[in-house]
Amino acid sequence: MGGRAAIYARFSSHNQRGESIEIQVEKSRAYCAENDLRVVATYCDFAQTGTNTDRAEFQRMMADAKRGLFDFVVIYKVTRIMRNRDEMAMARIMLRRCRVEILYAGEDISDGSAGVLQLGMLEVLAEYESALDGERIRDGIQKNAERCMANGCVRYGWDIVDGRYVVNEEEAAAIRLGVRMVLSGKSVADVVRAWEPYRTKRGGKWRFQTVRRILMRRENGGEYRYAGVVVPGGMPAIVPMDDEERVIRMLEDSHRPRAKTEAWDFPLTGKLYDGRDGGLMTGTSGTGKSGRPYHYYRCRSCGRTVRRDVVEKRVADAVREALGSAESRERIARMLADAEEERADEKPLSETIKGELAKIETAFSNIWAAIESGIAPPGGKERIDALKQRQALLKDELRTAEALEHALTTTARCSGLRAWPPPRWTTRSSCARSWRAWCWAAPTMTTACAWRSRLTILPAWAIICRCLAL
Task: Dihedral sign for Cα 64, 65, 71, 72, please.
Answer: positive
| CA 121/CA 258 separation, integer angstroms | 66
| CA 104/CA 111 separation, integer angstroms | 13
Would you say residue 152 has pLDDT above 70?
yes
What per-residue confidence (pLDDT) applies to 441? Answer: 38
Burial class (CB in 10 A: 0-12, 13-18, 19+), 413: buried
Q: Report the C-alpha dihedral over residues 354, 358, 364, 366, rounded to 10 degrees.
A: -160
Where is mean pLDDT largest: 5-14, 46-55, 269-278?
5-14
Would you say residue 230 has pLDDT above 70?
yes
Q: Could you tell me the CA-to-CA distances from 293 to 68, 151, 285, 427 in Å, in that order?
A: 56, 38, 7, 19
- Residues forming CATH 3.90.1750.20 domain(s) in the chain: 158-252
Would you say residue 118 has pLDDT above 90?
no
403 band by pLDDT with thresholds 50, 70 and 90: low
Would you say residue 165 has pLDDT above 90?
yes
Element (H, E) at 4: strand 4-10
Q: Is beta strand 4-10 parallel, antiparallel or unpaired with respect to 38-45?
A: parallel
Q: What is the CATH number of domain 4-142?
A: 3.40.50.1390
Average pLDDT for residues 46-58, to the nearest whole number?
Answer: 76
- The residue ranking higher by pLDDT, 407 or 12, is 12
| CA 211/CA 372 separation, integer angstroms | 35
| CA 269/CA 262 separation, integer angstroms | 11
Q: What is the CATH number of domain 158-252?
A: 3.90.1750.20
Average pLDDT for residues 446-468, to the nearest whole number?
Answer: 35
- Determine the distance from the C-alpha atom of residue 244 to the mean position of all C-alpha atoms in its chain, rounded to a whole number: 20
Instruction: Write the pLDDT tens digit of every residue in 186-223.
Output: 888 889 988 988 899 988 899 999 999 999 999 999 99
- Residues forming CATH 3.40.50.1390 domain(s) in the chain: 4-142
Average per-residue pLDDT for the chain? 75
Conformational region of residue 259, where left means phi above 0, alpha means psi within -120 to 50, and beta covers everything else: beta
417 band by pLDDT with thresholds 50, 70 and 90: low
Diameter over CA atoms, the chain: 115
Instruction: Write the pLDDT tens digit of every residue in 238-263.
Output: 999 999 998 998 888 755 555 445 54
The structure's pTM equals: 0.41
Q: 10 Å Cβ neighbour count for 411? A: 11
| CA 395/CA 357 separation, integer angstroms | 8
